[in-house]
Amino acid sequence: MPAPGKLDRSLKEFWVQNPWDIVAHGHNLSSFERNRVYLNVRGNQFMEISHLTRADSDGDGRAAVAADFRNNGRMDLLVRQVGGGPLLLFENDFPAKNYLKVTLRGRPELGRVPTSNRQGIGARLIAEAGGRRIIREMMPLNSFNSQSPCIAHFGLGDADRVDRLTIRWPSGREQLVSSIPANGHVVVTEGAAEFEVVEPGRIIPP
């Protein structure tokens, strides 16, 4: 064992005078902390369930994207590790519940100031279903060097429809859409009276 104050190279200890030299010399400050997963419990608290999900990797995960990769209404998690290594896809195998996916289509040509962008980025969506209010913001940017799909995903539990969906567009327009059936994907166009249903295999023009 080295004397006090001396480096223990068996533990890969090192000294640098300039913090930027850490990366230049091939070192990494990661202590390989295990990732953490928290379960939202009815909007009142969070429960730490990392060990149950097997997502508690020690690979120094930085980019994390939550999306419905299997198109079954359940949000999976894709994690990219900073030191290289494989992309990790953690499949969500919680019991299936009702859900709704919403894509927005803004209309800059409406001539409002400010206008909405084509994908409705920056919009706020408020869904009322089964006596609950669920709020989502259309912000596809997510964590470090990653981006989520431009889709708002609502977990509805046992509710079989969204009674009211209020959209506050970037243009300032507020739009209300009523009675949207659960377990589907809809496209809402700014200012349109009706929504479109996304059918697998059918292409909806941008």
Q: Could you report the per-residue pLDDT of 43-61, keeping only the tens digit for each?
A: 789 999 988 888 888 777 7
Task: Name the burial class of residue 190, with classes exposed (0-12), middle (13-18) and buried (19+) by CB atoms within 10 angstroms of its CB.
Answer: buried
Which spans in the chain are helix H? 21-24, 50-53
Helix (H) or strand (E) holding 23: helix 21-24
Residue 195 has pLDDT above 60, yes or no: yes
Question: For residue 131, how many C-alpha atoms fall within 13 Å in the half-sphere facing its CB?
Answer: 2
Residue 89 has pLDDT above 70, yes or no: yes
Mean of the pLDDT values across residues 72-83?
86
Domain(s) of CATH 2.60.40: residues in the chain = 98-197
CATH fold of 98-197 reads: Immunoglobulin-like (2.60.40)
Share of the chain above pLDDT 70, in %: 87
What's the start-to-end Cα distance of the chain, in Å?
66
Mean of the pLDDT values across residues 11-35?
70
Mean of the pLDDT values across residues 96-109?
93
Q: Which pLDDT value is given to residue 44?
A: 85
pLDDT band with cut points at 50, 70 and 90 for residue 190: very high
Q: Which pLDDT value is given to residue 27?
A: 65
Q: Which pLDDT value is given to residue 141?
A: 76
- Report how far residue 97's alpha carbon sits from residue 42's, in angstroms, rounded to the nearest whole number: 14
Average pLDDT of the chain is: 86
Residue 101: closest CA among 10, 16, 182: 182
Mean of the pLDDT values across residues 129-147?
88
- Report how far residue 132's alpha carbon sits from residue 157's, in angstroms, rounded to the nearest whole number: 10
Residue 12 has pLDDT above 90, yes or no: no
What does R_g of the chain's alpha carbons equal in angstroms?
A: 22
96 in Cβ contact with 74 (< 8 Å)? yes
**The two three-digit tokens of residue 125, written as one number:** 């969506």
Mean of the pLDDT values across residues 30-54?
83
Q: Find the farthest-apart pair of alpha carbons in the chain and give their distance in angstroms, rounded.
A: 77
Q: What single-letter DSSP state applies at residue 35?
A: P
